[in-house]
Amino acid sequence: MGVRIHSSWEKILQAEFEAPYFQSLISFVKTSYQQDDCFPPGSLIFNAFDLCSWEDTKVVILGQDPYHGQGQAHGLSFSVPDGIAHPPSLTNIFKELHADVGKPYPQSGNLTAWAHQGVLLLNTTLTVKAHQAGSHQGKGWEQFTDAVIHKLSAHKSTLVFILWGGYAKRKATLIDADKHLILTSGHPSPLSANRGYWFGHRHFSQCNTYLRQRGVTPIEW
């Protein structure tokens, strides 16, 4: 599958890669990609870890599943490649970003530039069958990404964890709130946003204020 991952993560996650659960997971993923249309492309399954090194990580934005439509998923939570129509959740993210920090609504939904600045755009499940949301949940990805969150919390300091929606907020138990900033809100999906649980939380500016106060270069959203 030609998976790419930054070398800094290989050392940090070596024990996970060698664990029996992960070997079973990879066997499942390989079989699934051979038998079905699955997303993202195999080479981009670990794209979040390839574009944002362990050393550079300063913000974590947690998603759940990859997008399951053709051409949408490229291994970064909430992001789509250039030229792909913005899914509703991403549209609401950009609307909140404009209201919060004044950034004009962008033409592209590609968030690679965030990843290059130290934003780990992490889905808790890294693969999905085409047009079947949640189809690869419960196979081991959650155990792996929980370990990632725990390691980041335990071994780094002054990170910002941005948890949108009930599923993401449950991951707060893995994070040491004395060492890191945890920002939570409703999910940016229309169902949540239209009920008033998403807009107005100003997470982008809160994140940058926290980073600046600790001498860390803020994110250019």
Beta bridge partners of 123: 63
As given in the structure block, the two tokens for residue 102 are 């004044």
Lookup: tokens for 150: 């725990």
- Burial grade of 146 (CB within 10 A; 0-12, 13-18, 19 or more): middle
Beta bridge mates, 39:
128
Q: Cβ(43)–Cβ(4) under 8 Å?
A: yes
Q: ∠81-107-199 over CA atoms, to 5°?
A: 95
CB-side neighbour CA atoms (13 Å) of 114: 22
Q: Is residue 146 among the annotated active site residues?
A: no
| Active-site entry in 36, 50, 65, 178 | 65
- Catalytically active residues are 65
